[in-house]
């Protein structure tokens, strides 16, 4: 069974950190680019980061650049999203996915991560940043 499972979400105070994990089963994660997306209540899903399949290049939305770090451990079939200096506006459900490439572009002067050809989605993990 092909499955992506996210974990590591929770409640954290502003300025705090969390590390999200995305573990694959039923397939090999290193065959794909791995983007992370998030969706806040009442808002559209937005891409926050992506790590490429081939050389591990990383891409970030301007809204998280310098605070979030994406990585992968192919031996563990797991990707990670380290989130530091969290802000209340980071509150959302976070999803990992598989994609064929990382798609990063500039829209209205802001760097964004877009889906290209998403294969699988995880079920999501809630991140709440609040004092």
Q: What is the pLDDT of residues 9-39, one digit of tens each?
A: 999 999 999 999 999 999 999 999 999 999 9
Determine contact, residues 40/91, Cβ cutoff 8 Å. Answer: yes
Burial of 128 (0-12, 13-18, 19+ CB in 10 A): middle
Number of CB atoms found within 10 A of residue 6's CB: 22
- d(C-alpha 10, C-alpha 82), whole Å: 13
Q: What is the pLDDT of residues 46-87, one digit of tens each?
A: 999 999 997 889 999 999 999 999 999 999 999 999 999 999
Q: What is the pLDDT of residues 78-114, one digit of tens each?
A: 999 999 999 999 999 999 999 999 999 999 999 999 9
- d(C-alpha 32, C-alpha 40), whole Å: 26
125-129 and 10-12 beta bridge pairing: parallel
């Amino acid at each position: 069974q092909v499955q992506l499972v996210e974990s590591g979400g929770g409640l954290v105070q502003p300025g705090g950190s969390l590390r999200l994990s995305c573990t694959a089963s039923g397939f090999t994660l290193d065959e794909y680019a791995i983007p992370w997306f998030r969706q806040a209540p009442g808002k559209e899903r937005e891409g926050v980061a992506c790590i490429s399949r081939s050389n591990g290049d990383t891409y970030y939305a301007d809204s998280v650049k310098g605070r979030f770090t994406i990585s992968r451990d192919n031996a563990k079939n797991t990707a990670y999203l380290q989130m530091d200096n969290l802000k209340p506006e980071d509150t959302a459900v976070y999803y990992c996915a598989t994609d064929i490439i990382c798609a990063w572009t500039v829209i209205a002067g802001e760097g964004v991560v877009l889906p290209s050809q998403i294969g699988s989605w995880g079920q999501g993990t809630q991140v709440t940043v609040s004092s």
